[in-house]
Structure 1
């Protein structure tokens, strides 16, 4: 039985329209492997981590005449004054103490586009003071939202821009806050499709949570259309960045879906497993007998 998805087509079309512009943002997932970051000489590059961090530089890069470093609001602003070979740098989350490793190098002509580091399964805890402040901001935002688009649309737009747009272009959403995801690296998201789903990040506002989930097609021969009716879970809205996902051998083998849930995160909305349909089981038995 296909689950009932509480989302109107009009909402999907409205949300899809705000995701149309393409932004060049390089995305890396922290999986305990050093992340390469190439800097253009003489031009600033922003590395987004969404955490308050401090950076430890080796002696070769500690000279401000070689590298300028600023850390503000979960973003690192890096400018190489001259070219240098790859150097290992430690970045530490001030609140949790977690350390990330990046390999910095500076060359002429390197990309200056923003780079985002995504930490899967974020277990950071918001302090009581931050929670109270966020609650007050949420109340204020609710009062002024009468003329704004529906909240699922605003949450989806915020999540998409935060992940894929340059920091300077992200439209503010008062009261929204990032929340931890208590999920494994892969979640059962689709009925009867071999697609892999990995949660990236989640944000919450006024009782709704948006979770960005990366979709990957491991099949080298088939392309799959993405239909919200194939999602196994209870969702307020679901928005795919692309209508389909290509074979694993193509450059279109990955996309992202933004899932809106009410009263909790994605871990509470997902069904535990997708049962096989009786017809599918009969077909598999017949094929095996042949």
Structure 2
């Protein structure tokens, strides 16, 4: 009888030790409470970088190994937010933590496993209605959308794009040939690459006192696609005088798709000299 009770107690203890709380990531911050002096494990199954506010320095120890985070609070912590960013595709997961004093007799907190919402969706059965898969998003559209979200949307809402990576900008970009007939100033902001396509975000600023309509047919260069953040921009000095242009190129960055800059030529230099000009 004692052996049965001991076996049951051992099984119960093992079950409690191996219990894992499942949290679904649906773009809403996940609450992960902590207790002072008690380590809590968060299984993320991603290669992530951890960002935390400076106020937690010396209060929270974070160890990152093999797709798991080990969180240990050394003192009480007011509600704070950790940012977990996937090192491969940029996916961002937010954790809201708070650390309270430990109490005697309370069982330890369970480990946490974070899964994406779609991973918990039930599988279709043979009797379930089937739908045709949505057509894949064109790469140029995915690139442009990612660039626009990166510049204008909150970081937590940026949709990750597998395989996409940031690329450095060249320092010798001369953009004045894009729309030379319009009074605009240009500045390249950032560039990303996905397979054989590049997208470059270029800031446009109106230097005239008039509204300007932006027409992609005016662009000069070799581009797969061109998208303006706004269809027109306001007069110089107004809050509307700036927008962003997204240029997608194939097999190379923006520099190779621009028209060359032609220096002005003084035709008089090539005229034959008259006898009177000779000394």
**Smaller-chain TM-score range?**
0.3 to 0.5
TM-score scaled to structure 1, two decimals? Answer: 0.46
| Structure possessing the higher relative contact order (Cα contacts under 8 Å, 6 or more residues apart) | 1
Q: Which has the larger radius of gyration?
A: 2
TM-score scaled to structure 2, two decimals? Answer: 0.48
